[in-house]
Amino acid sequence: MPSKPAISYRNVTKSFGPLRAVDDVSLDIAEGEFLAVVGGSGSGKTTLLRLANRLIEADGGTITIEGGNVQDIEPVALRRRIGYVFQSGGLFPHLSVADNIGITPKLLGAPAAEIAGRVDELIALMQLDRAAHRDRLPEALSGGQRQRVGVARALAAKPRIMLMDEPFGALDPLTRDALGEDFRQLHSKLGLTTVMITHDVTEAILLADRIAVMRGGRLLAQGTPAELSASNDAYVLELLRTPRRQIERLNALLPQGGAA
């Protein structure tokens, strides 16, 4: 593991009025790691993510990105070097697929020909059809296609870090499963550091290298699925029981084996 983590939280706190959304959290994400942050609604996981690129500001503690304190980096410049994927895709409805993907390189002053090449490269990378999708507006796309464009847009400026807030949560199960697997392969292929928020523990176990569990603004536990299984925290163990219970119920309901 590299000595300098890609993202580091040290004793980070954030309150909204009387609510302590993030409560003295310390967490390191290694370069090249895929970390999933899980927990119920209101656990602080989305707040933790947004603190990293200064969409919101911490009240206390220190956050570093690639060794630099985020407070020393101008917020817009910080966000342009970190990919961010929203649950809904967050696409600009009046812009075509190509213009949505190319917006960050355009804002960074890249030449038009370079942007066009990068857009075509990302459309191919996200397994979309260039002729069919390049000039379409987001409303003409399926949910899965919109999320693929959202991921492509987040990758357009070649970030080394990707922050993903419930990126596949609004999709149907088949699309969600396919897109999750595709992104996991992209993560490895591009050498990204990824932090993904999800409420789906099964998704976290299948996609992530390591899982951080949050509850009431606190970081309860972190580790591989096997390490978390050895936890003595009742809430962590209950979270991990959920996928097992689902498997047991599915096995009871579905006939075993395939057709002869």
**pLDDT tens, position by position, 127-136:** 999 899 999 9
Spell out, as residue ranges, where the chain has pLDDT lower than 70.
1-3, 257-260
17-48-160-76 Cα dihedral, nearest 10 degrees: 0
Residue 78 near residue 54 (C-beta atoms within 8 A): yes
DSSP string, 122-177: HHHHTT--HHHHTT--GGGS-HHHHHHHHHHHHHTT--SEEEEESTTTTS-HHHHH
- pLDDT of res. 260: 44
- pLDDT of res. 133: 93
User: What pTM, to 2 d.p., does this model score?
Assistant: 0.92
Q: How far lies 155's CA from each of 84, 108, 148, 187, in Å?
A: 9, 14, 11, 11
- pLDDT of res. 249: 82
Output the CA angle 197-198-199, nearest 5 degrees.
Answer: 135
- pLDDT of res. 3: 57
- pLDDT of res. 2: 45
Going along the chain from its start, the domains and CATH numbers come out as 1-81+161-255 (3.40.50.300), 89-158 (no CATH)
Residue 86 near residue 41 (C-beta atoms within 8 A): no
